[in-house]
Amino acid sequence: MNQDEMKQRTKLFALGIIRPVESLPKGQTSKVLGRQLLKSGTSVGSNYRSACRAKSVADFISKMGIVEEEADESLYWMELLIEAGIEVNLNMEV
């Protein structure tokens, strides 16, 4: 997969996060977890684009580590929403 394809996939991931977060119930827990998910889920693509501008291999590896951390954090917030029984549509289709 080339950089342009990965940039597109990470953007689609962000869009797939935005829609379910917008549909969360309006409770305090949903608001906090949704905000966390929105922040981590949309930062995957922005951090990947930053990695594409890396100045060295070491810089690229470091920045890709951030991408991986944000993707894993997104999974964590999704798991919390689901396990807390908060109704969320995680259909990631855009």
User: Total structural domains in the chain?
Assistant: 1
pLDDT for 92 beyond 80: no
Whole-number pLDDT of residue 94? 52
Q: Which helix (H) or strand (E) holds 34?
A: helix 28-52
Whole-number pLDDT of residue 60? 97
49-73, pLDDT tens digit by residue?
999 999 999 999 999 999 999 999 9
Name residues whose C-beta falls within 8 Å of residue 66's C-beta, 6 or more positions apart in sequence: 47, 50, 51
Is 11 inside any structural domain?
no
Is 32 inside any structural domain?
yes
30-54, pLDDT tens digit by residue?
999 999 999 999 999 999 999 999 9
d(CA 18, CA 23): 9
The fraction of the chain above a pLDDT of 90, given in percent, is 89
Structural domain for 64, as ranges: 26-85
Is 49 inside any structural domain?
yes
